[in-house]
Amino acid sequence: MKSVRLGILGAGGMGTHHAKTVLENKVRGLELAAVCDLNVAAFKLAPELPRFTDPEAFFDAGLMDAVLIATPHYAHTTLGIAALKRGLHVLVEKPISVHKADAERLLAAHRGKKQVFAAMFNQRADAQYMKVRDLVASGELGEVRRMSWIVTDWFRSDAYYASGSWRATWEGEGGGVLLNQCPHQLDLLQWIFGMPKKVRAFCRFGQYHKIAVEDDVTAYLEFPNGATGVFVATTGELPGTNRLEIAAEWGRLILEDGKIEFRRNEIPTTKFCRTTDLRMGAPPAWNVRIPIAGAEWGGQHQIILQNFADAIREGKPLVAPASEGIRSVELGNAMLLSTWLNRTIETPMDGKLFEREIQKRIREERAAKGKGPRAAR
């Protein structure tokens, strides 16, 4: 295949951003063939491109080999299934679906290895996270004992939530900070450390904004190897923090402000604990600044687009297969379900149970519309 003909479904902010990248010839072997959106007139780029308002007509026009889905969240499932069933290669924006049961339906429509199905988890292409993952996977840190990720630099104003009636509702968006802002961190968390086996979370709904969904989350995690974790996120703090800390056998690693600092023990923690005559104290340690190749942020979306095109044209492995996208969906779902049911959730979780619980909240939201669109909590 000389060049992959790409259709973009959803011409809003991210759809237009991706279209601009392709139109500027920043992705080798990828050309923009068509655009589809209910308000396609708002798409100002490349007026000569075929434009559609009906997804069915868009899919059946025969103009594309692949489609990028950048619509509101619930449509990722229905439109993704429609595209996959037509044999198109698919790249879907995060999250791949609102909840696990829908993600399972979406993945079931994937026909096989020849049909490329990827997710836009662009932060997997961020050098700092690639480096941390390599340090964990290579054993350089030793076995991980604890991880803590405070990601509270997602501040959003009331004006943000008022910018669309679908925002911050169970029916329109399907969730809050866990589904909109944090899918990247949830994906990176499981990508680096693996899936936790237990989740106990405390979500607060409309804590800082007049919204129905969660805008503040604190979660406790347990991993199969006995390690524990804490994940904290909110859209209600300023200035906010993005700090990942890892305690492991060989010391403590901190990723913050684009820098990786490793305080490395001369002796692994367990060995020191078992062999020292000291009742307290610690072994000597080195302060190490770990270099990050290509540390300047930017271009990660372009990298995922290039990888998608290369996977179609050359069979290269995907950086972010859609099949792995279900994990971040499940992790966010488990945090909400833990709060709703007031108990620990074990993974793999029951996707149908979560689906029933979110449908309850959608019904409550609809019933409360007479009191105002944000009244149901």
Sheet of strand 259-265: strand arrangement = 285-290, 259-265, 251-256, 242-248, 144-151, 228-234, 214-222, 198-205, 345-346
Q: Give, in order, the Cα–Cα distances in Å from 272 to each of 51, 217, 259, 277, 309.
A: 66, 36, 28, 9, 50
Residue 293 φ/ψ region, left for φ over 0, alpha for ψ in the -120 to 50 degree band, beta for the rest:
beta
141, 135 in Cβ contact below 8 A? Answer: yes
How many angstroms from the chain centroid is the CA of residue 376?
Answer: 26
- Cis before 95? omega within 30: yes
State the average pLDDT for the chain. 95
pLDDT along the chain (377 residues), means of 10: 93 94 97 96 94 97 98 96 98 98 98 95 96 97 98 97 92 96 97 98 98 98 98 98 98 97 96 94 94 72 97 97 98 98 98 98 91 43
Instruction: Specify the DSSP class assigned to residue 182.
Output: S
What type of residue sits at position 82?
A
How many angstroms from the chain centroid is the CA of residue 267?
Answer: 36
Contacts of 53 (CB under 8 A, 6+ apart): 36, 37, 38, 40
DSSP string over 18-34: HHHHHHTT-STTEEEEE
Residue 369: per-residue pLDDT = 82
37, 12 in Cβ contact below 8 A? Answer: yes
Residue 374: per-residue pLDDT = 44
What type of residue sits at position 221?
L
Q: Give the three-state DSSP class for 119.
A: strand
Question: Per the structure block, which two tokens stand in for 107?
Answer: 């993945």
Q: Which domains does the chain have, with CATH numbers?
A: 4-122+299-321 (3.40.50.720), 124-295+328-371 (3.30.360.10)
Backbone angles phi, psi at 360, to 5 degrees: -60, -45
